[in-house]
Structure 1
């Protein structure tokens, strides 16, 4: 689900909380050593997300925030902001010449640049959180 979060809306906060949980507490943020990525350059998006990209040749940026049950991908388009809500059970990550996030029939691919390389630790943290979430619903091993 993608929301236009340019202006504050309490309904959006409730939708995000219902889908991927409330934000981490300060203690949890300190234990995780941060829950947000640095901004990354968007290389390519799926055709159904083209309307959120700049029409001119400006660089498009996005950053990611971790939540207990998913992630928020915040996309900046000039003066407007969009938030893509992705629960962990829908998230697929590919690492090919940068990295791409796939979910809900959409994708976003980040450029393999200096800003992306600075986020290597963040992506490792993201994968750890996804594995923790998936292990809660893992099938027990057969006897």
Structure 2
């Protein structure tokens, strides 16, 4: 779900929390070594996201927040903040050969550079967390 999160909308916050869970408590954030990514530079994006990013002349960047049941990819365009909300069961990650990670949800995607060790470490943490929280039986869904 691609949404504008610039304004405090309780109904939208409820929908996001329903889809990917409420934010981690501070104690869990410390235990995980942080839940946010470093600044990620966007190299390519799906048409809908690209149309938002080309509205201004700023460098295209985003960040990722890990939630209990998914991730939120946030980016800015003009003075608005947009979020791509992705539950783990719809999240697909690919590591390209040219130091690029691709993040997919249905028909939306964002490709980011992974040119630093911090970015690679974050994606490893994300993949490990996704694997640890994945349901092991069909009954767990």
SS at match of 1:22: coil
**Unmatched runs of 5 consecutive residues or more in structure 1:** none
Instruction: Could you list the structure 1 runs, at least 4 aligned residues long, displaced by more than 6 angstroms after superposition.
Output: none
The corresponding residue for 1:102 is 104
The reply on whether 1:23 has 2:59 as its aligned counterpart is no
Alignment of 1:1-143 (within 5 A): 1-55=1-55, 57-96=57-96, 97=98, 98-114=100-116, 117-134=117-134, 136-138=135-137
Kept after mapping to 2: 8 A contact 1:54/1:78: no
Shift of 1:61: 0.8
Q: CA RMSD in A?
A: 1.8
Shift of 1:34: 0.3
1:71-106 CA-to-partner distances (Å, cap 9, x unmatched) read: 000011131110110000001101002101011211
CA, structure 1 residues 56+82, in 2 after alignment: closer, same or farther (shift >3 Å)?
A: closer
Kept after mapping to 1: 8 A contact 2:43/2:112: yes
When normalised by structure 2's length, the TM-score is 0.89
Shift of 1:16: 0.9
Aligned residues: 137
